[in-house]
Structure 1
Amino acid sequence: MARDDRFIKIYSQGTLNITEIWVDRETGVNYIFHASGNAGGLTPLLDREGKPVVTSVYDEE
């Protein structure tokens, strides 16, 4: 797997204030990315109990 294939964007919302959800294909961990203007941040997406959200590993090829 090439380096640029490790993460896949599964959700995107907004144009100026962007919110995206990315999934790591190797671990299944979901990450949330939010950007507004020149600032942005990425963090693991957590469930109600504070544990990372993990989905089945994507293999869309």
Structure 2
Amino acid sequence: MFGEKKESRFVTILSESAKGGGIARVMVDTETGIQYLFVYALEAGGLTILADEDGKPLINEEYRRKKD
């Protein structure tokens, strides 16, 4: 339990400076492969799912854990 090294569920695949001094990150849930956009600046931030033109979540298969 304690001291065990566990893989992170979310990984950052892109990090950029945004206008106004903020940061924009694309993160991936390694269990589902779903990508999220996380933006923050000063004391405010927001998180949203990245979606295709049909509104379906963008999946990054490279990071998705396969279910056995």
1:38 to 36, 43, 53: 43
Report runs of 4+ in structure 1 exceeding 2 Å deviation. Answer: none
| TM score, norm. by length of structure 2 | 0.73
Tell me by how many angstroms 1:58 deviates.
2.0
| TM score, norm. by length of structure 1 | 0.80
Q: Which runs of 5+ in 2 are unaligned?
A: none
Q: Which runs of 5+ in 1 are unaligned?
A: none
**Identity rate, percent:** 40
RMSD: 2.1
Mapped contact 1:26–1:57 kept (Cα < 8 A) = no
Asked if 1:19 corresponds to 2:6, the answer is: no
Query: Which residue is 1:7 aligned to?
Result: 10
Aligned residues: 58
Mapped contact 1:33–1:41 kept (Cα < 8 A) = yes
